[in-house]
Amino acid sequence: MNEIVETMLNHRSVRSFKPDPLPADHIEQLVLAGQAASTSSYLQAYTIIGVTDQALKQSLAQLAGNQAYVAENGHFFLFCADFHRHEIAADIHQTDIQDAVTSAEKLIVGISDASLASQNVALAAESMGYGICYIGGIRNNAEEVAELLNLPDHVLPLFGMCVGTPAVIPDKKPRLPIDAVYAENGYFSPETQTESLQQYDDITSSYYSERTGGVRADTWSLQVSGMLSTLKRGHMLPFMQKKGWNRH
Amino acid sequence: MNEIVETMLNHRSVRSFKPDPLPADHIEQLVLAGQAASTSSYLQAYTIIGVTDQALKQSLAQLAGNQAYVAENGHFFLFCADFHRHEIAADIHQTDIQDAVTSAEKLIVGISDASLASQNVALAAESMGYGICYIGGIRNNAEEVAELLNLPDHVLPLFGMCVGTPAVIPDKKPRLPIDAVYAENGYFSPETQTESLQQYDDITSSYYSERTGGVRADTWSLQVSGMLSTLKRGHMLPFMQKKGWNRH
């Protein structure tokens, strides 16, 4: 196993950082690493906003559900799907691209382009000795985040990422068994899938039990059932549509 | 700059592969690398289907718009957003999760989870000496792809990825200037954005001109304006909704 795969396998989400800000050349390397990821049809349909202003970071931390580490880290990135840039390009050539950019298909493109770039940023940061944590919580108040950072239409805030020198390095959480995630030449059989989920429940149950001296008897299936039993962020569809996304 | 960032910056999409299939231990390493990526709220809302059957690969190549390299490579991965697994978990605990998993918010989660995993797979493959190419073209006929690979409801095919030993190594295409992708503490000013797009048009124009002996006088803004002037894959919204995604 090479160093790159080892760095990937060593990932864990860090939620406590030393306050030292990232130097400018590191930020530049991270963004260039993100940009080097694949992009759908060369569209590069994303924008990365770095947040260095402490008052802005405090506001984002609140909007993301009072997560202190959103304000306290070495650098905060916000990843957005972006077709506003293409609107400007189309204006130069007097072309109408509204029908395309407001489609659900282009939402897929924007989210995947932004996500591929973000994962390169995450791994590049980890390769430089930093820890990272994705912040989906910014979607709790997506509209306020968009206003705070002056995002025009066709720019959709997706998630943030805290980067910095870890103050605390947490354990790695066990992933689904490979047989529950990877199948060949077709989808899993119902039997295989149920079996591998049961296996995973045993693994996660032991994991939580060991870390809480037997107090927490959670399993993955129980955890996700609870988490998905209520609708969260039901505002995302109207918000997206208002901002020119996912209309048809 | 370390080896990991260098590997990222050296990315280019490979579209011509030697026929040697990937050994099983490499496939396993790639999937484990993908699984190690961050995942929203521990949901791991994706599935990876490896396609080794040559007849299936031929069918996928056709469905993806007759791209020969979809059939001719060392291994083909299909990345899907997946909440079917969570349906099974919820059944165990007699919990109704329909409202959550059919929301636009959970579409964002599924696409980003699958994308983060895929970018680790891509970079891990490149670190092992392989070339890769993402295949968004599978969405040209998303419904037929889902039928071919027996994908149940709540499993959404997003993109494929060809992996293999490169037969031809293409040039790297110049990305947007960093100032056009990365802003601090707020979105770009209109002036900065227009200026950096003009700069990029000059760069891409030179790139195409040099590679075609002056024949191709394309710019990025012209290219994307043309590409986005018509709606493509307008079937994606009804297809997603039929499969239990993005309904509200």
For B121-134, how does the pLDDT look when each residue is reduced to its tens digit (9 = 90+)? 999 999 999 999 99
User: Which residue type does B88 have?
Assistant: I
The average pLDDT across B44-66 equals: 98
Q: Is the pLDDT of residue B42 over 90?
A: yes
Q: Reduced to 3 states, what is the DSSP secondary structure of residue A49?
A: strand
Topology classification of domain B3-171+235-243: NADH Oxidase (3.40.109)
Provide the shortest C-alpha distance from residue A86 to chain B (in Å).
7
A31 to chain B: which residues are within 8 Å by CB? 178, 181-182
CB contact under 8 A, A100 and B230: yes
User: pLDDT value at position B225?
Assistant: 98
The CA distance from A102 to B231, in Å, is 9
Provide the shortest C-alpha distance from residue A145 to chain B (in Å).
10
pLDDT tens across B171-191, in order?
999 999 999 999 999 999 999
> Which residue among A42, A124, A133 sits closest to B5, beta carbon to beta carbon?
A124
Terminal Cα-to-Cα distance of chain B (whole angstroms) = 45
| pLDDT level of residue B68 (50, 70, 90 thresholds) | very high
pLDDT tens across B87-123, in order?
999 999 999 999 999 999 999 999 999 999 999 999 9
User: pLDDT value at position B216?
Assistant: 83
pLDDT tens across A186-236, in order?
999 999 999 999 999 999 999 999 888 888 889 999 999 999 999 999 999
User: pLDDT value at position A165?
Assistant: 98
> Which residue among B56, B96, B99 sits closest to A185, beta carbon to beta carbon?
B56
| pLDDT level of residue B217 (50, 70, 90 thresholds) | confident
The CA distance from B162 to B77, in Å, is 7
User: pLDDT value at position B227?
Assistant: 97
The CA distance from A197 to A175, in Å, is 11
User: pLDDT value at position B212?
Assistant: 87
CB contact under 8 A, A127 and B5: yes
Q: 10 Å Cβ neighbour count for A13?
A: 18
Provide the shortest C-alpha distance from residue B168 to chain A (in Å).
18
User: pLDDT value at position A215?
Assistant: 86
The average pLDDT across A90-114 equals: 98
Residue B94 backbone zone (phi > 0: left; psi -120 to 50: alpha; other: beta): left
User: How is B155-177 classified by DSSP, letter by letter?
Assistant: EEEEEEEEEE-BSS-PPPPPPPP
Q: Is the pLDDT of residue A133 over 90?
A: yes
Among chain B residues, the shortest Cα distance to A232 is held by: B100
Mutate to test the interface with B, among A30, A181, A199 (most CBs of B within 10 A): A181
The CA distance from B190 to B197, in Å, is 11
Q: Is the pLDDT of residue B57 over 90?
A: yes
User: pLDDT value at position A216?
Assistant: 83
| pLDDT level of residue A169 (50, 70, 90 thresholds) | very high
- Interface A-B: count of C-beta contacts within 8 A: 363
Taking 3-state DSSP, the helix, strand and coil percentages for chain A, each rounded to the nearest 5, stand at 50, 15, 35
pLDDT tens across A37-90, in order?
999 999 999 999 999 999 999 999 999 999 999 999 999 999 999 999 999 999
Instruction: State what percent of residues in chain A have pLDDT above 70.
Output: 100
| pLDDT level of residue B146 (50, 70, 90 thresholds) | very high
Q: Is the pLDDT of residue A161 over 90?
A: yes
The token pair that represents A236 in the structure block: 């995302």
The per-residue pLDDT of chain B, averaged, comes to 97
**Residue predicted with more confidence, B94 or B215:** B94
- Nearest C-alpha neighbor of B126 from the set B1, B30, B31, B18: B30
> Which residue among A33, A104, A232 sits closest to B5, beta carbon to beta carbon?
A33
Would you kindly state where each structural domain of chain B is located, as residue ranges? 3-171+235-243, 178-217
Instruction: State what percent of residues in chain B have pLDDT above 70.
Output: 100
Q: Reduced to 3 states, what is the DSSP secondary structure of residue A19?
A: coil
Cβ neighbors of B178 (< 8 A, separation 6 or more) are: A28, A31, A32, A35
| pLDDT level of residue A19 (50, 70, 90 thresholds) | very high
The CA distance from A158 to A135, in Å, is 9
Q: Is the pLDDT of residue B219 over 90?
A: yes
> Which residue among B93, B116, B240 sits closest to A119, beta carbon to beta carbon?
B116
Residue A63, H or E segment: helix A54-63
State yes or no: ipTM above 0.90.
yes
